[in-house]
């Protein structure tokens, strides 16, 4: 049976029929209504005094289909000054726009449309922090674009200085932040110019994270990057006093995730902070001239990146109250949503099938996050 990992103060999803309140356990009863939440975003609602086997609604937020909706996108990318040139596809010359007009329809339920005013209220007095790599930056930029349009220019501030970028909504005393940590654990360059990945060291990064109210972690892409003089993302891996000039990257990945889990268990106050971990956003081998999502999903079964099962194993085995945002499969269906050659103000033949156009798919990840953070007024 799948391990039940409920965040202690997460709100029961708006897709569930009946009352929605904050609950403090993995299984809760309200009258004769029973709710269970699983780390994959899987909800089971039961209505009867006997819980076993009486499933009225079964909803997995991350299993479903893409539905064309002309009311999307949720913002105008050209009007959002916070998007990097790499992912601003239409201003970069992409001629089509249908990739912006797809919403996610989960199986067995619906999610609320993103409401920027409501999200700002949820963030009042709080810090929302994304932690990860350039894909996390895309999700960060998406969230800022989603909430910033209605804020007067003198009431919002962006400070972007590595490793921390911070957008502040001053009237709400709220911030949306990005902490750049593609490995989560620490990477340094020594005096000889060698990059050292410290698989058991995270404290210098973690000091930025532990006071955030909502944390969205992600680490995947850099673990199988190649580059640098050695053809690797790092030259030396260290664990304690041991050094490794060669280590299988997925072995290293699991060690780093275990370091993160141990740190989270010791340093995050789960009564205060909501913690999410997003699975890997997939790369596609080709994406140029793709114009719509994969439609025949039953015949499209690409393998999962190896990072995904490793992440699920580590999160489930630690028993941490972390909600897994399992966006990999839903994003695999969106070959059409990458920058491709429209990844700079001067389009080239070099196709980018890893990052995501904004507006686009990261907005939907944030719409799911919005539904997970709390019930929208809609």
DSSP per-residue string spanning 277-302: EEPPPPP-S--TT--S----GGG--P
The 10s digit of each residue's pLDDT in 97-110 is: 999 999 999 998 88
Return d(Cα 219, Cα 322) in angstroms, integer.
Answer: 15
Higher pLDDT, 296 or 82: 82
Return d(Cα 202, Cα 204) in angstroms, integer.
Answer: 6
212 pLDDT exceeds 50?
yes
Given 331, 352, 359, 363, the catalytic residue = 352
Query: Are the CB atoms for 180 and 219 separated by under 8 Å?
Result: no
Query: Are the CB atoms for 39 and 315 separated by under 8 Å?
Result: yes
Return d(Cα 218, Cα 314) in angstroms, integer.
Answer: 13
Query: Are the CB atoms for 160 and 141 separated by under 8 Å?
Result: no
Return d(Cα 5, Cα 40) in angstroms, integer.
Answer: 9
pLDDT average, residue stretch 99-123: 94
Higher pLDDT, 376 or 374: 374
Query: Are the CB atoms for 259 and 185 separated by under 8 Å?
Result: yes
9 pLDDT exceeds 80?
no
State which H helix or E strand residue 274 sits in.
strand 274-278
Q: Band of the pLDDT at 173, cuts 50, 70, 90?
A: very high
Given 221, 249, 338, 355, the catalytic residue = 355
Return d(Cα 355, Cα 340) in angstroms, integer.
Answer: 9
The 10s digit of each residue's pLDDT in 228-239 is: 444 568 999 999
| DSSP per-residue string spanning 92-119 | TT----GGGSEEEEEET---PPP-HHHH
Q: Band of the pLDDT at 59, cuts 50, 70, 90?
A: confident
At residue 52, the pLDDT reads 37
Catalytic: 363? no
| Cα–Cα separations (whole angstroms), residue 181 to 16, 137, 184, 187, 310 | 35, 11, 5, 9, 19
Cα 193–Cα 194–Cα 195 angle in degrees, nearest 5? 120
Q: Which residues contact 263 (CB under 8 A, 6 or more apart)?
A: 202, 203, 206
Higher pLDDT, 18 or 146: 146
At residue 219, the pLDDT reads 97
376 pLDDT exceeds 50?
no
Catalytic: 352? yes
Strands of 236-239's sheet, edge to edge?
A: 186-189, 195-198, 236-239, 242-244
Burial degree of 24 (CB within 10 A; 0-12, 13-18, 19+): exposed
Least confident of 249-253, 305-309, 373-377: 373-377
Return d(Cα 367, Cα 169) in angstroms, integer.
Answer: 19
Q: Band of the pLDDT at 91, cuts 50, 70, 90?
A: confident
Higher pLDDT, 132 or 8: 132
Catalytic: 344? no
26 pLDDT exceeds 60?
no
Strands 55-68 and 42-47, sheet pairing: antiparallel
Given 63, 69, 134, 344, the catalytic residue = 134
Return d(Cα 96, Cα 324) in angstroms, integer.
Answer: 33
Chain mean pLDDT for the chain: 84
Return d(Cα 96, Cα 59) in angstroms, integer.
Answer: 33
| CA dihedral angle for residue 190, residue 191, residue 193, residue 196, rounded to 10 degrees | -10
145 pLDDT exceeds 60?
yes
pLDDT average, residue stretch 52-78: 81
Token pair belonging to 261: 């889990």
Q: Specify the 3-state DSSP secondary structure of 63.
A: strand
Least confident of 81-95, 126-140, 157-171, 325-339: 81-95
Least confident of 10-24, 150-164, 175-189, 359-373: 10-24
At residue 138, the pLDDT reads 97
Residue 57: closest CA among 25, 32, 33, 39: 33
At residue 318, the pLDDT reads 85
Token pair belonging to 351: 């196709």
Task: State the pTM of this model.
Answer: 0.85
Beta bridge partners of 106: 64
Q: What percent of the chain has pLDDT over 90?
A: 68
The 10s digit of each residue's pLDDT in 244-257 is: 988 999 999 999 99
Return d(Cα 102, Cα 105) in angstroms, integer.
Answer: 9
207 pLDDT exceeds 60?
yes
Summary count for the chain: helices (H), strands (E):
7, 16
377 pLDDT exceeds 60?
no
């Amino acid at each position: 049976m799948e391990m039940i990992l409920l965040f202690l103060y997460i709100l029961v999803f708006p897709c569930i029929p009946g009352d929605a309140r904050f609950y403090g356990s993995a299984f809760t009863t309200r009258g004769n209504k029973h709710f269970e939440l699983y780390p994959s975003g899987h909800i089971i609602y039961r209505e009867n005094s006997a819980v076993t086997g009486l499933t009225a609604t079964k909803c997995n937020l991350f299993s479903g289909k893409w539905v064309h909706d002309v009311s999307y996108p949720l913002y105008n990318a050209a009007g959002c000054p916070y998007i990097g040139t790499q992912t601003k596809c239409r201003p970069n010359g992409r001629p089509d726009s249908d990739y912006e007009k797809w919403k996610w329809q989960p199986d067995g339920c619906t999610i609320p449309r993103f409401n920027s005013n409501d999200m700002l209220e949820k963030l009042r007095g709080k810090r929302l922090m994304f932690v990860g790599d350039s894909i996390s930056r895309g999700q960060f930029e998406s969230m800022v674009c989603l909430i910033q349009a209605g804020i007067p220019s003198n009431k919002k501030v962006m400070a972007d200085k590595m490793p921390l970028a911070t957008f502040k909504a001053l009237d709400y005393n709220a911030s949306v932040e990005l902490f750049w940590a593609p490995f989560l654990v620490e990477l340094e360059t020594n005096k000889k110019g060698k990059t050292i990945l410290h698989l058991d060291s995270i404290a210098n990064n973690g000091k930025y994270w532990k006071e955030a109210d909502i944390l969205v972690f992600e680490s995947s892409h850099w673990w199988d990057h190649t580059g640098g003089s050695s053809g690797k993302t790092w030259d030396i891996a260290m664990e304690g006093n041991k050094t490794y000039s060669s280590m299988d990257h997925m072995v290293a990945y699991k060690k780093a995730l275990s370091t993160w889990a141990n740190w989270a268990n010791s340093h995050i106050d789960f009564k205060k902070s909501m913690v999410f971990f997003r699975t890997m956003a997939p790369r596609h081998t080709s994406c140029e001239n793709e114009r719509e999502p994969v439609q025949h999903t039953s015949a499209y079964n690409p393998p999962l990146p190896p990072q995904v099962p490793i992440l699920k194993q580590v999160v489930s085995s630690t028993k941490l109250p972390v909600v897994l945002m399992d966006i990999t499969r839903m994003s695999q269906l969106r070959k059409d949503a990458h920058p491709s050659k429209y990844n700079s103000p001067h389009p080239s033949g070099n196709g980018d099938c890893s990052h995501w156009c904004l507006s686009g798919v990261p907005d939907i990840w944030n719409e799911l996050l919005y539904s997970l953070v709390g019930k929208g007024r809609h």
